[in-house]
A and B are shown apart, each in its own frame.
Chain A
Amino acid sequence: MKYLLLCLLLTGRPFDICAQPPPSPVKQRLVVPVRKGYVNHTELGTLLGAVAAPFQPDVTYTRSSFTASSFNGYRFRRGLAVGATVGVDWYARNAVVPLSLGLRGDLARGRVSPFYAFDAGYAVVSLAKGKDVDFDGGLHLNPALGLRFALNSGAALTWSIGYKYLRARTVFENASGPNRIENRYDYNRLALKVGMSF
C-alpha cells in the first residue's frame, strides 16, 4: 500500500499503472556512443576572460563572449575522431567564424566518460565588420577537456572546459580622409561549453 501511495504521489497516474509490479529491470549498461563512423559534436558556451584597462595597468575588465561550434568528423576508434569544426565567436567588436581541423576522443568508456577536443584553424570571416573595414583572420586554437554523459537516445550530453585563442586584425581606411586604423586582437579565453554529441 505504501508503495501504491508513493507511486501516485510521484507519478500522478492511476493506480492501475502503479498496481502493476514494476518490470524487472533489464540490466543494459548505458554508455557513451563510441562506434566507428560519422560523429557530430555541437556545443554552445561562453568565453571568459579579462583585459587590462588601457593606461591603468592595475585595473582589469572582465570579458565574456558567446561561442558556438559544430564538429563533424569520422570516428576511427574510441580515442580518435577526425573532422572539421566550424563555429562563431561573438566578441564585442568582432563576430568571427573560425574554421578548424578538429580532433575528438574519449579517454575512458562509461556512462560518463572524459574526452578531449582539439581544434586548430583560422578565423576566416567577420560577420560584424563595418563599412570600409578590411578583416584579416588569424590563428585559432581551442583545446579542451570535458565529460560526456550518455543518454538513452544513444547520444551524449557534453560539458567541457578549454582554452580559446583567436587572433584577428581589422583595418579601417577612411575613404574621405587620410587616416588608417589597424586593430590587432589577441583573444585568450577560458571556454566553458555544453553540447550534444552522437
Chain B
Amino acid sequence: MHNLYRFPTFVALLALGLAGCRDHCQQKVTYRTQRQFFITSAELRAGVKSGPAQELENPGKIYVRGNYLFINERKTGIHFIDNANPSNPRIVSFLSIPGNTDIAVRGNVLYADSYTDLLAFDISNPAEATLLKRVEGAFPSGSVDGLHWQYDQFRQMVVDTRWEWVTEVRDTDCESSNGGGGWWGPWLRSTDVAFNASGAQSASAPNPNGGTGTGGSMARFALHDRFLYAVTNSDMKLFDVSQPAEPKASATVNLGWGIETIFPYKNNLFIGSTTGMHIYDNTNPAKPERLSTFQHARRCDPVVVQDDYAYVTLQAGTFCGGVESQLDVLDLTNLRAPKLLRTYPMTKPYGLGIDRQTLFVCDEGLKTFNATNPMALNLLNHFKHLNAYDVIPLKGTLLLIGSDGLYQYDYTSDPRAPRLISAIPVKRTAS
C-alpha cells in the first residue's frame, strides 16, 4: 500500500508535465494565382522571329486563309499550317510573336498583335514570314481570358500577368476555419481552364472580301474594305490597310467597357461585349455608325450572323458573370431594333459557327443543329467526347479546335455524323 499512496503524487506530476502539451497543425494550400511579369520594348522586338514548325501546346484562335490555317499559340505566336490537303495538314513553321492573340490575313500580308503593337508580315513564303511594319502603341491595354495587361508609361514596359501555381505552408491553430473546406485564402478562384486554353471560340460565315481570310466569332480582328478593325476592351481601332504592307492607325471608336469580339457581316459590324451586342453600320468603312445595342445580362457572348439572324452563345460563370448559359437567336430584320426570337438552354457554350442550314455550337462537346427554322432549332447530334471550344465551318469542312488540338471534319454528306478527316493533337507533356 505504500506505493499506492505515492501514486497520486506521481500522477499529479505527470499531469503537470502533460499540461504543456501543444497541438501542432499545418496547412498547405496550393492554388493558382496571377503573377505579374514585365516585357520591355526591346524584348517585344527581339521576340519576333520565324522558325521551324512546333507542336501545338496551348492553341488559341484559328484563322483560315486559302489553303493555310493559322493557329495562335496563346501569347506566344502563330503556327502556319498547310491545309491544301485537309486529310493531311502539315505544320510548316512557327512565327514567334510575344503577346500575340489575334490574326487577320489579306493577300500575302498577315496582321498580328503583339501586346501594344500591330505587326504586318509578308507571308508569301509561309516557311519564313518577314516583318513588314510595326505600328507601335496601337493598343494601350488588353485582356485575354480574364488576364489583363497594360502598358506602363512610366516604366515603359508591358505589365502582364500569368497564372502560376503557388504552394504556401503555414502553421494554424488547428481549429479555426482552416479545415476541410476552410481557409478561403488569398487565391483567386479559377477561371475556366478550358477557356484559358482557348480564347478563340471561332465561328464564321463565308467572308465576302476576296483575298481576306476567315476568323472566328471570338476574333478581335476583322478586315473589311480597306480597314482592319481591332477591338480592345473599350475601343474599336481602325487601321487603314489600303497599302497592305503599310498599316496606318486611323480612327478610334469608343464602345464602352467589356468589348470582346467583332464579327463583320455584309456591311455591318457585330461587336460582342460582356453586357450586350453592338451593331454598327459600316457602309462608310472609315466611320462605322452605331445602329443599336442589344443588351443582355453580364456574360461572355460570341456571336455569328447569317442572313437576318444572329446567334449568340451566352456563357455564364467563370469571369463572364451571369448564372445561366444559353443560346439566343435574334431577329435582325431591323438592325436598329434587334429582337430576341428565342432562347435555347446550354450547359457551357463556347464558340459557334453556322454554314447555311447547319449550326455548330461548342457546348460540352459539339452540338450540331438544323437551323432551317431559327425559331425551332433542331438538335441533330451531340458529340460529348469532343473537347471543342472553337469551330469554323467552311465549305463543307468543319475546323474544330479544343484543348486536345485541331480536328477537321467533313460535314457535307451528313451533318448528323461529321466524318473525321484529320487531327493535329497538342503536344503531350508528362504530368
Question: A188 touching B174 by the CB < 8 A rule?
Answer: no
Q: Which of A117-151 contact B (CB under 8 A)?
A: 129-133, 145, 147
For the complex, what is the distance from the CA of A60 to the CA of B22, rounded to whole Å? Answer: 9
Segment of A1-9, A22-30, A175-183 in the binding face: A175-183
Given the known interface contacts A180-B29, A186-B24, A187-B23, the answer about A61 and B173 at a Cβ–Cβ threshold of 8 Å is yes
Chain B residues engaging chain A, CB cutoff 8 angstroms: 1, 3-4, 7, 10-11, 14-15, 18-19, 21-32, 165, 170-175, 178-183, 187, 189-190, 193
Report chain A residues within 8 Å CB of B15. 161, 190
User: Is A42 interfacial (CB 8 A cutoff)?
Assistant: no
**In the A-B complex, the 4 residue pairs with the closest CB atoms:** A93-B179, A177-B190, A130-B180, A92-B175
For the complex, what is the distance from the CA of A193 to the CA of B129, rounded to whole Å? Answer: 81
Residue of B whose beta carbon sits closest to that of A53:
B173
Report chain B residues within 8 Å CB of A161. 11, 14-15, 18
Interface residue tally on A, bucketed by range: 35 or more
Question: B14 touching A186 by the CB < 8 A rule?
Answer: no
What is the CB-to-nearest-CB distance from B162 to chain A, in angstroms, rounded to a whole number? 14
Report chain A residues within 8 Å CB of B14. 145, 161
Question: B23 touching A51 by the CB < 8 A rule?
Answer: yes
What is the CB-to-nearest-CB distance from B145 to chain A, in angstroms, rounded to a whole number? 14
Question: B23 touching A181 by the CB < 8 A rule?
Answer: no
For the complex, what is the distance from the CA of A145 to the CA of B190, rounded to whole Å? Answer: 52
Residue of A whose beta carbon sits closest to that of B166:
A179
Question: B4 touching A129 by the CB < 8 A rule?
Answer: no
Question: A170 touching B24 by the CB < 8 A rule?
Answer: no
User: Is A15 interfacial (CB 8 A cutoff)?
Assistant: no
Question: A93 touching B23 by the CB < 8 A rule?
Answer: no
Report chain A residues within 8 Å CB of B181. 130-133, 172, 181
Question: B22 touching A51 by the CB < 8 A rule?
Answer: yes
What is the CB-to-nearest-CB distance from B282 to chain A, in angstroms, rounded to a whole number? 41
For the complex, what is the distance from the CA of A74 to the CA of B348, rounded to whole Å? Answer: 62
Report chain B residues within 8 Å CB of A184. 25-28
For the complex, what is the distance from the CA of A164 to the CA of B32, rounded to whole Å? Answer: 37
User: Is A198 interfacial (CB 8 A cutoff)?
Assistant: no
What is the CB-to-nearest-CB distance from A167 to chain B, in angstroms, rounded to a whole number? 10
Question: B1 touching A110 by the CB < 8 A rule?
Answer: yes
What is the CB-to-nearest-CB distance from A116 to chain B, in angstroms, rounded to a whole number? 11
User: Is A49 interfacial (CB 8 A cutoff)?
Assistant: yes
Report chain A residues within 8 Å CB of B179. 93-94, 130, 170, 183
User: Is A21 interfacial (CB 8 A cutoff)?
Assistant: no
User: Is A14 interfacial (CB 8 A cutoff)?
Assistant: no
Given the known interface contacts A178-B193, A180-B30, the answer about A50 and B18 at a Cβ–Cβ threshold of 8 Å is no
Question: A51 touching B7 by the CB < 8 A rule?
Answer: no
What is the CB-to-nearest-CB distance from B8 to chain A, in angstroms, rounded to a whole number? 8
